[in-house]
A and B are shown apart, each in its own frame.
Chain A
Amino acid sequence: MVHEHSSDPSTATVNRLSVRNIRKKFGSLEVLRGISLEADDGDVISILGSSGSGKSTFLRCINLLEIADEGEIWVDGEHINMVKKHGKNMPASSKQVDHIRAELGMVFQSFNLWSHMTILQNVIEGPVHVLKRPRAECIAEAEALLEKVGIAEKRHAYPAHLSGGQQQRAAIARALAMRPKVMLFDEPTSALDPELVGEVLRVMRALAEEGMTMLVVTHEMNFARDVSNRVVFMREGQIDCTGAPPEMFSGESSPAFRQFIGNFRG
């Protein structure tokens, strides 16, 4: 298959993530109506949009928790192969699905730590059992990561005994332990008490400064403006407008986006 698009990974520099014309329906509800996006190494892209605009579905299509009906995805230059089965789009190989997912770190709104494992066990689970790396090495690396997100002293505690902010930082460490190519965040601070939001955003900001490629669905306007280098505004399953934060927030955006951020100020 030949793509003439200039960003085609086979002809241009390799994007960390490349999504082209993703479409997704739930029943008759068209949730994604043709979304394309490219993320270069080190890009931090904030995805904004009102509830129901399809932000979560978009992220979930990227790591194949949902399967898009149409469209192409490349992760670090690798094309995700799809086949049609009974007229429905399906991944061609479940091996590739697992491999792609291992390269994408996902952070959920509700943390989703495994409740029967300690924090340290949560963090080493993927590297040890999915990547099959030596356990001792994984433990050392996990402890360094927990140190970095500031919860090293909680490593032998169970998730239920941690605050929401601590759990989310542990979840970030768990995702980082896989050495992902791209991190996907789905409203990582929306389930937190206001006073715990800052500690999670600080960790994410540090990650951005280290050059991690990140897609962040968020309602934190300050994070979008100050940390990301690109803002994407989704509306009714499409990208309504996108650009660098200075332009977007200075009024050179669409009327819908101006109204959207107006609601936050007001």
Chain B
Amino acid sequence: MWLIEVLGFGQKGWGGLLIAGAVMTLCVTIVALLIGAVVGTLVAWAKLSGGGVLRTLGNAYTTVFRGVPELLIIYLVYFGGSGAVTAIGRYLGYEGFLGLPSFAAGALAVGIISGAYQAEVYRGAFLAIPKGELEAAEAIGMHRGLRFRRIIAPQVLRFAIPGIGNVWQLSLKDSALVSVTGLADLMRTSQVAAGSTRQYFLFFIAGGCLYLILTSLSDRLFTRAERRANRSMPSSFGQA
């Protein structure tokens, strides 16, 4: 009875807040994944385009943001960003500390990291497109934009789905670190609930279960997308 009370949705229950935290985690991750998709596409393009300077910058990006601890990036974006905002505020005549909204800072930080991993996924996916298919597109008179839209983008997406599934899981777990900025995500809510009820074990298990539910549901979604995208592959590859 007591268990239902603390985990439930009643007055003393933390259920509602935990669910809200899970939704917050989901939102941060989705926004981060989208930011990462834009960043990742640009970085992948820089790495593939061959130009010396661009390629070096692209390589530097993926090396740095995959190599530095996630927590450090989050601190950097949150406190660094807030510092910048405060400086701008002071310049405009406002005295005192101005914080970056923790949602925006968190999504941006996780997005920056996610972008480094997504860049590698897109690059690999591009390289998996048979070269002959690109030549056939040129040979039929497709200009660059048309080739990208009709031949490259659909195939990159197809080859990238499994990799993006992995990045999604990474980002989902990275988003837990955003709780250090005070954002009421699933991690933070579990922590608060655990602290105020002193039921540490219970609430961290509950939080862990919710994370598992999120990852396994999204996993299923990606598997289905992958199967759909592989309709055109030899049967040993896709549906089977």
The B-contacting residues of A in range 137-196, CB under 8 angstroms, are 158-161, 171, 174-175, 178
Contact A101 B140 (CB under 8 A): yes
Q: Is B143 an interface position by the 8 A CB rule?
A: yes
Given that A114-B151, A116-B154 are known contacts, is A125 also in contact with B140, CB under 8 Å in the complex? yes
Task: Name the residue on B nearest A118 (C-beta).
Answer: B232
Contact A115 B141 (CB under 8 A): no
Q: Is A32 an interface position by the 8 A CB rule?
A: no
What chain B residues lie within 8 Å of A160 (beta carbons)? Answer: 232-234, 237
Segment touching B, from A102-110, A197-205, A231-239 = A102-110
The A-contacting residues of B in range 127-181, CB under 8 angstroms, are 130, 132-133, 135-144, 146, 150-151, 154-155, 158
Q: Is B231 an interface position by the 8 A CB rule?
A: yes
Task: Name the residue on B nearest A110 (C-beta).
Answer: B132
Contact A65 B135 (CB under 8 A): yes
Per the bound structure, the CA–CA distance linking A125 and B233 in Å amounts to: 19
Task: Name the residue on A nearest B236 (C-beta).
Answer: A160
Per the bound structure, the CA–CA distance linking A100 and B139 in Å amounts to: 9
Contact B142 A108 (CB under 8 A): no
Per the bound structure, the CA–CA distance linking A158 and B229 in Å amounts to: 12
What chain B residues lie within 8 Å of A65 (beta carbons)? Answer: 135, 138-139
Per the bound structure, the CA–CA distance linking A159 and B233 in Å amounts to: 8
Contact B141 A114 (CB under 8 A): no
Given that A98-B141, A125-B150, A130-B142 are known contacts, is A106 also in contact with B232, CB under 8 Å in the complex? no
Contact B132 A112 (CB under 8 A): yes
Q: Of B139, B154, B158, which one neighbours A101 at CB under 8 angstroms?
A: B139
Q: How far is the CB of B178 from chain A (nearest CB, A)?
A: 37
What chain B residues lie within 8 Å of A95 (beta carbons)? Answer: 143
Q: Is A18 an interface position by the 8 A CB rule?
A: no
Per the bound structure, the CA–CA distance linking A94 and B138 in Å amounts to: 11
Q: How far is the CB of B43 from chain A (nearest CB, A)?
A: 24
Per the bound structure, the CA–CA distance linking A178 and B136 in Å amounts to: 13
Q: Is A85 an interface position by the 8 A CB rule?
A: no
Q: Of B132, B141, B143, B231, which one neighbours A178 at CB under 8 angstroms?
A: B141
Q: Is A126 an interface position by the 8 A CB rule?
A: yes
Number of chain A residues whose Cβ lies closer than 8 Å to a Cβ of chain B: 34
Per the bound structure, the CA–CA distance linking A159 and B235 in Å amounts to: 12
Contact B136 A112 (CB under 8 A): yes
Q: Of A106, A113, A117, A118, which one neighbours B139 at CB under 8 angstroms?
A: A106
Given that A65-B135, A125-B150 are known contacts, is A158 also in contact with B140, CB under 8 Å in the complex? no
Q: How far is the CB of B16 from chain A (nearest CB, A)?
A: 45
Q: Is A99 an interface position by the 8 A CB rule?
A: yes
B 221-232 to A, binary, CB cutoff 8 A, 1 in contact else 0 = 000000000011
What chain B residues lie within 8 Å of A115 (beta carbons)? Answer: 130, 133, 155, 232-233
Task: Name the residue on A nearest B146 (C-beta).
Answer: A129
What chain B residues lie within 8 Å of A94 (beta carbons)? Answer: 143-144
What chain A residues lie within 8 Å of B158 (beta carbons)? Answer: 116
| Chain B CB within 10 Å, residue with most, of A99, A100, A113, A171 | A113
What chain B residues lie within 8 Å of A171 (beta carbons)? Answer: 136
Q: Is A63 an interface position by the 8 A CB rule?
A: yes
Q: How far is the CB of A167 from chain B (nearest CB, A)?
A: 12
Q: How far is the CB of A21 from chain B (nearest CB, A)?
A: 23
Per the bound structure, the CA–CA distance linking A160 and B139 in Å amounts to: 21
The A-contacting residues of B in range 104-138, CB under 8 angstroms, are 130, 132-133, 135-138
Per the bound structure, the CA–CA distance linking A175 and B154 in Å amounts to: 22
What chain A residues lie within 8 Å of B146 (beta carbons)? Answer: 129-130
What chain B residues lie within 8 Å of A129 (beta carbons)? Answer: 142, 146, 150
| Chain A CB within 10 Å, residue with most, of B136, B142, B144 | B136
What chain A residues lie within 8 Å of B150 (beta carbons)? Answer: 125, 129
Q: How far is the CB of A106 from chain B (nearest CB, A)?
A: 4
Could you list 7 examples of A-B contacts with CB < 8 Å? A98-B142, A108-B139, A112-B132, A126-B141, A130-B141, A158-B232, A161-B234
Residues of B within 8 A of A (CB): 130, 132-133, 135-144, 146, 150-151, 154-155, 158, 231-235, 237
Top 7 nearest A-B pairs (CB, nearest first) are: A102-B141, A112-B132, A158-B232, A112-B136, A106-B139, A101-B141, A126-B140
List 18 additional A-B contacts (Cβ < 8 Å) besides A95-B143, A158-B231, A171-B136: A65-B138, A101-B139, A101-B140, A101-B141, A106-B140, A111-B132, A112-B135, A113-B133, A114-B136, A114-B151, A115-B155, A129-B142, A129-B146, A130-B140, A158-B233, A160-B237, A161-B235, A175-B140
